[in-house]
Amino acid sequence: MDTPNDSENDLATNPKKRKIGEASDVEKMDSASVEKESGKKDKLLEMAVKAFFYGRNKVEPGFYLNTHGENAVVDVDDYKSGRACETCEPVCMDDIYQLLLKTVIGYKYKLRWATLNGTRNIRKTLLLVIEGFTKSDILENTSELNIIDMFQQVVETASSNIHFATELCSLHQITDFHVRSRDTFSTMFTREQGVRIETPSNYTFPSKLNLLLSPVQMLMENYPFPGSNYTKSRCNNYIFTKESYVPATVDSPMFAINCEMCVTDNRPRVLTRITVVDENLKTVFNSMVKPDSKITEYSTQFGGISENMLKGATVKLSEVQQQVQRLLPANAILIGQSLNHGLHSLRMIHPYVIDTSIIFNNTGIRKKKLSLKRLASVYLNKAIQVDSKGHDPVEDAVTMMELVQFRLQQIAQFPKDFFYNQELSSVLQNTEDTELPVSKIDPNSMKAEPCFFAVTSKFSKKCSLIGNEVSLKHYHGKILNENTQKIVKSNRRDIINTTLEQIAQKDLVITHVCYNPIAQLNAYEELNDILKRLYNAYDDRYMLMVLVSGVDEGNYSDVKNGLFMSAFKVPKKK
């Protein structure tokens, strides 16, 4: 190997090497110039990128309804004029949940029903929850509530007949509201049909009953819903799985159903194969189904249905319906992955349903669901749907049943991680961890995500909850943290004055006001004045939202309709 001195002497005595060396020096100089020029370009590019993102951050907030939101719009002018108006699709509590998160922390997920721009620049968010008034109360008294015209969006809501605070805190967990109510399903089914949930007298820990979809969940997920006024859950000419039912209990048998569908020229999707599996993972019904119209798309890569497979099919939909009616007991619980599609293809209605896409959705966000393939991989360590020729319907149905059985083990062993109980003094909330069953499952296996206020606190957002003792008791102590403050006031005047003070100090204020319109004179005039004061409380990038919950504790209904109104205030351009 040459030493450094040997190399230098060699360059001095060898002209050829000296030229190469000089050329190398020139290349180095050129390279330095190129690097310098490139550095300038990089700096200019960096400045341009910063300017772009700075410009994006300076985008003024804007809130606009999309097609889903437009379908929920309530035309106030129609009510004023006495014209009938129809809502195609309501906004639900998880929609409001997402909007609140997005306004406060710039939530990354898109809204299902609207577009919200410039979230980083929203300075203040106020949600006023009005209790005691119904949707009709507000719309029938718009002459005294002229401030409503200031709200850019007025949409109909659908929710369970429970307090907004309870629903906000429990969207990410399994609940028992519909299990504890004796009148659950009374809106959907006649009393003569015998549909209800029956719990044992010593009911304490969660069971399969807690995994049942509540009526409002069925409405939200567009399940066939008897008597529904909403487009996607209507079920004209559908039949019931049984003429009458008996109560669902902890001993009710479960059946997993997998339905494969194809597209026809008559209806968008029709049933072409059905598979039913029982709790022992035994296939109890498996049949191809002859469609009554021409198929235009087989979707073989997904459902595995091909033209050849259907050539020998002779069983018609009506025969499948009859077989399902004979097969299912009157208290059967159906299991499926987004089974709403399957029931619509069957053109059948069933009250007791467990949906695997929902019971494993711990986020409180309706559309944030995992596929059956992903669920099997994450929870069961099982690979399914690996065949390029399409799904195996028996394998899918078996997987659905296994997932439910796994979830039941989880909530039995870790109820406090997955389960929210409305009765704060109930056995479950007061049970010590040492009293719970011995764990056989990893306690860290996909626990429920934090509740709403844990998320806002994570982003250092400060929140105030303001109202009387009755309203605020529904925000149980476990959700409070250093960034979430509960302020109890005894009357509406103090509640509103405190709200006006807190708006200047906090990122989010949720205020509850209660009314008894029958007993109180001038209730609408007072409410109108409150809305004006809150509307004028802040001008610079201020989101004001009003929820008329429609909850009536004295008049139970599975699904309550309310109103949601919103107004965005941004500084006027000079």
pLDDT given at position 80 = 64
Cβ–Cβ under 8 Å, residues 509 and 495: no
**Most distant CA atoms of the chain, gap in Å:** 112
How many other CB atoms sit within 10 Å of the CB of residue 165?
21
Most trustworthy range by pLDDT among 30-44, 72-86, 379-393:
379-393
- Kindly tell me if the per-residue pLDDT of 337 is higher than 80: yes
Q: Stretch 374-385: mean pLDDT, rounded?
A: 92
Structure confidence by residue, pLDDT tens digits, 414-454: 777 776 654 432 333 333 333 333 334 454 444 445 678 88
Q: For the segment 153-162, what is each residue's pLDDT rounded down to a tens digit?
A: 999 998 887 8
**What is the pLDDT of the chain when averaged over all its residues?**
81
Contact 128, 513 (CB under 8 A): yes
What pLDDT was estimated at residue 555? Answer: 64
Compute the residue count for the chain. Answer: 574
Angle (nearest 5°) at CA 569 between 117 and 142: 115
Does residue 142 have a pLDDT over 50? yes
**Residue 27 predicted with pLDDT over 80:** no
Q: What is the pLDDT of residue 364?
A: 62
> Where residue 8 falls among pLDDT bands split at 50, 70, 90?
very low
3-state secondary structure of 316: coil
Which residue type is seen at 279? E
8-state DSSP, 197: B
Span 168-205, pLDDT tens digits: 877 767 777 777 776 778 777 888 899 999 888 776 66
- pLDDT of amino acid 59: 62
Q: Which range among 102-111, 287-296, 349-358, 435-444 has the greatest average pLDDT?
A: 349-358
- pLDDT confidence of residue 451: 78
Q: How far, in Å, CA of 447 to CA of 236, rounded?
A: 40
Give the range among 227-241, 316-330, 389-403, 421-435 with minimum mean pLDDT: 421-435
- Which of these ranges, 43-52, 273-282, 286-295, 400-409, has the smallest mean pLDDT? 43-52
DSSP for 335-399, written as a single string: EESSHHHHHHHHTEE-S-EEEHHHHT--SS-TT----HHHHHHHHH-------TT---HHHHHHH
Residue 461 · residue 507 · CB < 8 Å: yes
Lowest mean pLDDT among 50-59, 96-105, 210-219: 50-59
Residue 514 pLDDT level (bands cut at 50, 70, 90): very high
Instruction: Assess whether pLDDT exceeds 70 at residue 54.
Output: no
